[in-house]
């Protein structure tokens, strides 16, 4: 299949590019510099040139604090552009694959969220993503909307300035105090696994809304501890509460996604612990000088 990949040099985009090409698919990568997803004309132009069977849209405005300050831009990128892509895909007969977020939920359920649970976002980012997915459902015939959670990638997040794993390791190296919230529970997800699961999901042809994150759950604090343990870094993070750091942005305290629909198709995804260990191995292969020796951080 021929794939147009939007947001090709982001965290997820970089892994989708590698995974789809390795599997033998022809991928036309489009970076933000090459194509603003908000430009209908540019999207039509690239779609006409590329003639894709599948459009993978990873483009998003997902800095949650910035979304609060600039809701117009959040809606333009996460909602209107998604709707326009859905219409363009329907016109050309392409399948649209769009990524959404665990932040569509408010966290009050305190049990894994099913695809059938009603969204109730707490912030502008979440509202813009729910709206985008809704407009895709209305405007596209053949689509996958994939909600995911806590992404980290070797490529690093251009949108957020690095990923959580790298930020933790950097802080440990600098010896600064590491405070991490233990009252937000999620599932960290390695984009390599998400990219591969996305590829297998597309091949089923069973369109619709899916939850796709690693298996398992942990708090950010537990994740930080596992990062240090797995990397052999002697750092002791300090558990803190969300309320210790007042923020204008509300975040769900629990955003674990149940993968009921994925399993019903006979598909699986590895656990977050397994993924973290492979990420750290991959990272040290890419950069043998990356911290493997224990360092000491104050706590
Ligand atoms: N990161 C997470 O923890 C997380 C969690 C749940 C869901 N998601 C969703 O997963 C998807 C991928 O996230 P990610 O972490 O891979 O993000 P990312 O690393 O920031 O990648 C997003 C890519 O989209 C590009 N982009 C942004 N605005 C664009 C625009 N207007 N037109 C064209 N391209 C644009 C970015 O380019 P520039 O950087 O050059 O602007 C970047 O290459 C998003 O839909 C996000 O909402 C992410």
DSSP string, 121-165: -SSHHHHHHHHHHHHHHHH-SSEEEEEE-SEE-TT--TTTTS-HH
User: Residue 169 — pLDDT band, cuts 50, 70, 90?
Assistant: very high
In the beta sheet, which residues pair with residue 151?
189
User: Residue 115 — pLDDT band, cuts 50, 70, 90?
Assistant: very high
Distance 251 CA to ligand 1 centre (A): 18
pLDDT of residue 299: 25
pLDDT tens figures, 238-284: 999 999 988 889 999 999 999 999 999 999 999 999 999 999 999 88
Q: What is the DSSP string of 10-60?
A: SHHHHHHHHHHHHTT-EEEEE-TTT--TT-HHHHHHHHHHH--SEEEE---
pLDDT of residue 288: 63
HSE-up (13 A, CA, CB side) for residue 53: 8
Is the pLDDT at 156 greater than 80? The verdict is no
- In this prediction the pTM is 0.95
Q: What is the DSSP letter of 114?
A: P
The burial of 255, by beta-carbon neighbours within 10 Å (0-12 exposed, 13-18 middle, 19 or more buried), is given as: buried
pLDDT of residue 160: 58
User: Residue 197 — pLDDT band, cuts 50, 70, 90?
Assistant: very high
Mean pLDDT over residues 43-54, rounded?
A: 96
Average pLDDT of the residues of the chain: 93
State which ligand 1 atom lies nearest to the alpha carbon of 102: 6
pLDDT of residue 265: 98
pLDDT of residue 264: 98
**Best substitution site from 42, 59, 63, 130 to test ligand 1's pocket, by max atoms within 8 Å of Cβ?**
59
User: Residue 158 — pLDDT band, cuts 50, 70, 90?
Assistant: low
Q: Is 152 a catalytic residue?
A: no
CA–CA–CA angle 130, 134, 138 (5° rounding): 170
Is the pLDDT at 291 greater than 70? The verdict is no
Phi (first) and psi of residue 181, to 5 degrees = -70, 140
Is the pLDDT at 292 greater than 50? The verdict is no
pLDDT of residue 148: 98
Mean pLDDT over residues 44-61, rounded?
A: 97
pLDDT of residue 296: 36
pLDDT of residue 295: 41
In the beta sheet, which residues pair with residue 29?
5
pLDDT over 90 percentage in the chain: 90
**Best substitution site from 4, 5, 10, 16 to test ligand 1's pocket, by max atoms within 8 Å of Cβ?**
10
> Cβ distance 280 to 230 under 8 Å?
yes
> Cβ distance 198 to 212 under 8 Å?
yes
Distance 132 CA to ligand 1 centre (A): 14
* Cα four-point dihedral sign 210, 215, 219, 224: negative
pLDDT of residue 159: 56
């Amino acid at each position: 299949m021929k794939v147009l990949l939007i947001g090709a040099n982001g965290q997820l985009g970089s892994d989708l590019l590698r995974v789809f090409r390795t599997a033998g698919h022809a991928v036309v990568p489009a970076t933000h510099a090459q194509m603003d997803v908000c430009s209908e004309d540019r999207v039509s132009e690239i779609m006409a040139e590329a003639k894709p069977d599948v459009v993978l849209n990873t483009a998003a405005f997902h800095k949650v604090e910035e979304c609060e300050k600039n809701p117009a831009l959040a809606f333009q990128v996460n909602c209107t552009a998604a709707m326009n892509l859905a219409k363009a895909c329907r016109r050309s007969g392409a399948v649209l694959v769009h990524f959404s977020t665990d932040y569509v939920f408010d966290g009050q359920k305190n049990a894994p969220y099913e695809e059938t649970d009603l969204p109730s976002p707490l912030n502008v980012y979440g509202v813009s993503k729910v709206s985008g997915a809704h407009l895709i459902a209305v405007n596209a015939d053949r689509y996958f909307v994939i909600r995911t959670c806590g992404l980290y990638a070797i490529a690093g997040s251009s949108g957020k300035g690095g990923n959580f794993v790298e930020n933790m390791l950097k802080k440990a190296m600098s010896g600064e105090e590491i405070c991490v919230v233990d009252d937000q529970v999620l599932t960290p997800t390695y984009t390599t696994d998400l990219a591969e699961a996305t590829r297998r999901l597309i091949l089923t042809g069973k369109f619709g809304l899916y939850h796709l994150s690693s298996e398992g759950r942990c708090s950010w604090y537990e994740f930080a501890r596992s990062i240090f343990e797995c990397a052999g870094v002697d750092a002791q993070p300090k558990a803190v509460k969300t309320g210790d750091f007042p923020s204008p942005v509300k975040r769900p305290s629990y955003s674990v996604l149940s993968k009921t629909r994925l399993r019903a198709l006979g598909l699986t995804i590895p656990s977050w612990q397994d993924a973290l260990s492979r990420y750290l191995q991959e990272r040290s292969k890419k950069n043998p000088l990356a911290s493997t020796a224990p360092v000491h951080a104050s706590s």
